[in-house]
Amino acid sequence: MTEEIRKTLRDSAAMRWTALLLLALAMFCAYIFVDILSPIKDLMLTQRGWDSTAFGTMQGSETFLNVFVFFLIFAGIILDKMGVRFTAVLSGAVMLFGALIKYYAVSESFIGSSMEAWFTAHLNYIPGFDELGVSPFYEGMPASAKVAAIGFMIFGCGTEMGGITVSRGIVKWFKGREMALAMGSEMALARLGVATCMIFSPFFAKLGGSIDVSRSVAFGVVLLCIALIMIIVYFFMDKKLDSQTHEEEEKDDPFKISDLGKILSSQGFWLVSLLCVLYYSAIFPFQKYAVNMLQCNLTFTAVPEDSFWASSSVTIVQYVIMIIVAAGAFASNFQKDKVRRVLFTVASVVALVVYCYMGYMRQSAESIFAVFPLLAVGITPILGNYVDHKGKAATMLVLGSLLLIFCHLTFAFILPQFKGSELGGVVVAYVTILVLGASFSLVPAALWPSVPKLVEPKIIGSAYALIFWIQNIGLWLFPLLIGKVLDKTNPNVTDPTQLNYTWPLVMLAMLGVAAFFIGLYLKVIDKRKGIGLEEPNIK
């Protein structure tokens, strides 16, 4: 009887996985909003006058405050001082506030308003930032893009705050239990947000036969409202847990300036940080342009409006099939019975083939790119388990870099050769996108678990904060650079589906080349100094 009384919510598998589900779904909604305009870049040009430079500047603004105002560091301090519950609710509220500003910026209400006139005449020159070449605005930037950038900056602060808070929350609920599985599951669900965005953003923008880009953003805003509700429910669950354990919220050592010297003096830390920024800069900014890149390099035939493939119901069906692919691939990793494991795998593969067929029949670039995270969801647990038991983290990072180079060069030089071949181009696109998604799985499986081997345990939190800050520099810079390169290399091109993406893709491939050589050097340093990156995590 006494043992029953001492049991807490954390001791119940159902309750702790419910807590994880609440946090994971909240981040799932956040990741959908991150790329909510990516699948409709062409519509932003025709409907709001955003050229590639304006689009890239707005997309890069998400991380501007985190990088140049150091909000990422402040978010860690808030988390340390105020705890998981307060910071989780704050992050949800900040994300929603920023999203509402972005919605207003792209809505019909903004067009012709006094707000539009003011932003057209102002924020064309920001002292200091313009001189450094890092201003989030520029003269001639559409007013709607400026206001959307402001909203996206605020949203980005909430997203980063939410990311580190979710990690702390998982540690609190799963410490001593299935923590690795919990973190992997949260990450897998978040990845599905990318596919969800690619499928539903164009769906809402074109709903009813009339184009309204604000509907896509409104869809994201509604999801963020749901996310905030989930966070509030988690707030009360977490509070109940603390009342049962009579413990104060666990706090990591706060970020200290004195820690910088220890971290920055580590050669291994710098190599891993550079790998991180190169890797993520070649993936996340690309996602924001990928759909438009496919529109420019594939040949699509208009689907008859009265056919099933042009109906709204096909979007729902394809999304359900996508969930089957992801769920089957993910679940197969945790089946002890061989027969059940094979059945889950076969079901997932069959569903993937059906999904790809539907994407081809829909003649939709966004539907094709939505396949990007599906293979990653299935193999992330496999790769993580391999690193845990077999090691070879540095080798896997080198392999990931090679895959990055292969994929971006394929998009740049091989895919355009299939323009005019409907089936051939789509097959090349599908295979390359799936391989790129697989390479992305190597980062969480190999890179993040390597950090604790490079720095002292008491400064791991500070090290991660610095890595995230360095990573955000790339996530701010490269969406902007891609947009500028597109405009420079496509003068006088007014059709958003006729852009030449060769040079932006070559630039991203060069990031993979740099990551490859840094990975090789990291292997040399690891062997020379015995850091243990090639050794298994579980011994």
Residue 189's pLDDT is 78
Alpha-carbon span 331 to 341, nearest angstrom: 8
Instruction: Count the neighbouring beta carbons within 10 Å of the beta carbon of residue 426.
Output: 22
pLDDT for 88 equals 86
CA 137, 142, 148, 150 torsion: positive or negative? positive
Q: How far apart are CA 190 and CA 24, in angstroms?
A: 7
State the burial class of residue 259 (Cβ atoms within 10 Å of its Cβ: 0-12, 13-18, 19+).
buried
**How confident is the model at residue 230, as a pLDDT?**
92
Residue 70 has a pLDDT of: 79
Predicted confidence at residue 193, as pLDDT, reads 86
Backbone φ, ψ for residue 424 (5° rounding): -60, -45
Q: Are 268 and 531 in contact (CB under 8 A)?
A: yes
Compute the distance between CA of residue 333 and CA of residue 330 in angstroms, rounded to an integer. 6
Whether the CB-CB separation of 389 and 193 falls below 8 Å is answered with: no
**Going by C-beta distance under 8 Å and a sequence separation of 6 or more, which residues neighbour residue 343?**
none
Residue type, position 382, single letter = I
pLDDT digit string (tens) for the chain, length 539 residues? 344 445 777 777 788 888 888 888 898 999 899 989 988 988 998 898 898 889 888 988 888 888 888 787 777 677 767 777 888 899 999 999 999 999 999 999 999 999 999 999 988 888 777 766 678 888 889 999 999 999 999 999 998 888 777 877 777 777 766 665 677 677 777 778 888 888 899 989 988 778 899 999 999 999 999 999 999 998 888 888 777 776 654 444 555 566 667 677 777 778 888 888 898 899 888 988 998 999 999 988 888 888 888 888 888 899 899 889 888 887 887 777 888 888 988 999 999 999 999 989 988 888 899 888 887 777 776 776 676 677 777 788 888 889 999 999 999 999 999 888 878 899 999 999 999 988 877 766 667 666 767 766 556 656 766 777 888 888 888 988 998 899 899 988 888 888 999 999 999 999 999 999 998 888 888 788 777 777 776 65
Q: What's the one-letter identity of residue 128?
A: G
Amino acid letter for position 249: E
CA distances from 130 to 117, 125, 365 (A): 22, 7, 36
Consecutive H or E run containing 125 = none
Six-digit token string for 236: 């009360």
pLDDT at 184: 66
CB-side exposure of 449: number of CA atoms within 13 Å? Answer: 28
User: Smallest Cα–Cα separation from 399: which of 274, 506, 523?
Assistant: 523
Q: Give the pLDDT score at 427.
A: 93
Place of tokens 């298994």: 536
Query: In this structure, what is the dihedral angle of CA atoms 112, 115, 118, 119, given to the nearest 10 degrees?
Result: -100
Structure tokens at 15: 């309750």
